[in-house]
Chain A
Amino acid sequence: MTTATSDDWRPALAPAILLRRDRVRSTDLLVLPERVVVLSGRAGAIVRLCDGGHSVPQIVGELSACFPGAPVATDVPVFLDRLRAEGWLR
């Protein structure tokens, strides 16, 4: 069900899924009705830009500016596709 990331996709969290900062565990979480997904590393920073307004190239652009030298252009679209395949992003 994974489709190639298209440039006009503006990812947003699926309804009823929350991005939460867990202060106790110092991590970002995706909270679903029956499960919690721990977002390690910079995954939270990526998901935070999935607000339905940013296109994938815009997300890549913002992250590249924040994390110079990181393989953002290759890794971020793959990560977003994985989250879409799980049904967490639309």
Chain B
Amino acid sequence: MASTRSSDGDLSRACRQGDSRAWREVVQRFTPQIYRLAFRMLGSRAEAEDACQEAFVRMHRSIDSFDATRTLAPWVSRIAYHVCLRRLERVAAQPRAGAAEDELEVLPASGRDPERQAAASEEDALVEGFLGELAAQDRALLLLRYRDGLSDSEVAEATGMSVGTVKTRIFRARARLREQLAPLTGDES
């Protein structure tokens, strides 16, 4: 049991019954995903950690409303996404001081030869810059879709947007990123 992954249905049912082992599994499984989403939406490590904490508390309080026939990832993402939106609303008036330093720490540095590392760093920096320019909601959409591997309909479920809106916003964001990457990929069109 310790090494196997429980199915979402079993896990959520056990969580409803207050099974602490099930809750531990949920926390271990979803912390990386929630933290990434929160960091990308809020732009600060401290805020992201607080948002994770709030998201898990809210999950714990609303587990009874979860439909055990569905998958957990979109539900978890929905709670985290809305926690972050609420926090963003609270800090909307404040500038994102310190976010740039936080994001620089994110860039991977080791394990590549200098030439490849330089190229990779250029790409990474480009992506970081690109993500920084996007609205927090669009950053969340890209992350949920490509990093966490949610389908369009699951992303829609997580964000409360329609599938059409999700597809359009992701298409536009991707097109912008491709434009910015054009100098690196050698596409002059």
Chains A and B form a bound pair = no
